[in-house]
Amino acid sequence: MGALKWLCLAASLALAGTALAADPAQRYDMIELQADAQREVANDTLSAVLFVELNDTNPVALANAINKAANEALRAAKDYKSVRVRSGNNQTYPVYTKGNVLQGWRARAEIRLESKDFAAASGLIGKLQAGMQLGSLSFSVSPEARRQTENELITEAIGAFKARADIVREALAGRGYKIRRLNVNSGSSAPPPRFAMARAMAAGAPEMAAPNLEGGVSLVTVTVGGAIEVLD
């Protein structure tokens, strides 16, 4: 019985060897390629951080003052319905002299703004700057606009990848190619924001002049990389 099994196994291996000999593996070259597609997209979202920072020797009085300033800013922001406003980071920390003696306390409270209505956001920023400082200002493409652009660029980037694959195949005198691996990645970059102060308001006005904001554009890029087999 054991001898019969060995004979069957030997016959199977012989048949497999014959099949492999009749269909030899094709020779090919593996080539790594990369292509991308880019598009400038208007920034449609503004983000800003304003903050108030105060000092006091009494931590309770300091907390009351900083909370009052932040609450007043949040109340003022309610008049701007198209601007999303939320509290940011709040912190209080001790201040020491050079001799490591407690001198007092410093507190900081932030207000974060986000809006697609640049005019309204500009007006609110100018109003809040009467009692707060502008910590940061940035512009970006909203997630929905970015997603739509990336979806359109994917087709372009894959087309560019195939065009390069055809160039490689022709240069290597191949009869064809197969895509063995394909990766799609996306990203964007934006220049720093540009803004200038508008014409000064009437003398004695409690608010600062609102800044003229230019959202600019972001460069959205989709990159396609992968490997192809160039067939002989």
What is the Cα–Cα distance from 172 to 165, expressed in whole angstroms? Answer: 11
Q: Higher confidence at residue 21 or residue 163?
A: 163
Q: List the chain domain ranges.
A: 26-44+142-232, 45-95+106-140
According to the model, what pLDDT value does residue 232 have?
A: 83
According to the model, what pLDDT value does residue 201 have?
A: 36
pLDDT at position 72 over 70: yes
Q: Higher confidence at residue 27 or residue 60?
A: 60
According to the model, what pLDDT value does residue 99 have?
A: 85
Angle at 118 between CA 77 and CA 40, to 5 degrees: 145
pLDDT for 129-159, tens place per residue?
999 999 999 999 999 999 999 999 999 999 9
Is the CATH code 3.20.20.140 the one for domain 45-95+106-140?
no
Q: Higher confidence at residue 42 or residue 16?
A: 42
Query: What is the CATH T-level fold of the domain 26-44+142-232, as seen in this structure?
Result: Translation Initiation Factor IF3 (3.30.110)
Q: Which residues, at least 6 apart from 45, have a Cβ–Cβ distance to it below 8 Å?
A: 114, 115, 116, 139, 140, 141, 142
At residue 30 the predicted structure's pLDDT band, cuts being 50, 70 and 90, is confident
pLDDT for 149-206, tens place per residue?
999 999 999 999 999 999 999 999 999 999 999 999 998 876 665 544 433 333 334 5
